Amino acid sequence: MRLVQLAAGLVLMLVGPVVGSTVPVPFPLGLVLFGSGLALVLRNSLWARWRYVRWKRRHPRAGKITEFGLQRHRRFGDYFSRDIFKRDRS
C-alpha cells in the first residue's frame, strides 16, 4: 500500500505542472495536484522527508509557506481566531 501511495504521489507531482500549464481553469489546479503529490510522497518516503527537512532549513521562508500548505485538520473558522488576522484598533 505504501508503494502505491508513493507512486501516486510521484505521478501527481509530475502531472501537476503539465496540467497547470495546459488546462485553463480559474484556480491553480496544477499547484493543487503538485501539493497533493508532495504530501503523499512525504508521508510515505523517509528519504524524501529527510531531503525536505534539509531544504526547509536552507530556505526557512519558503519552508513556512509549504508547511502552511501541508497542514492537516484545518477548519475554515480557525483562520479567523488567529491573532494575525486581528487588527489593533487603538
Q: pLDDT (tens digit, 9 = 90+) per residue, 34-63?
A: 888 988 998 899 999 999 899 989 988 888
The rounded distance, in Å, linking the Cα atoms of 37 and 70 is 11
The confidence score (pLDDT) of residue 77 equals 55
Distance of CA 63 to the CA centre of its chain: 10
Inter-residue contact 5 to 20 (CB < 8 Å)? no
pLDDT mean over 14-35: 87
Contacts of 18 (CB under 8 A, 6+ apart): 30
Give Cα 88 distance to the centre of its chain.
31
pTM: 0.67
Q: Is the backbone of residue 65 left (phi > 0), alpha (psi -120 to 50) or beta?
A: alpha
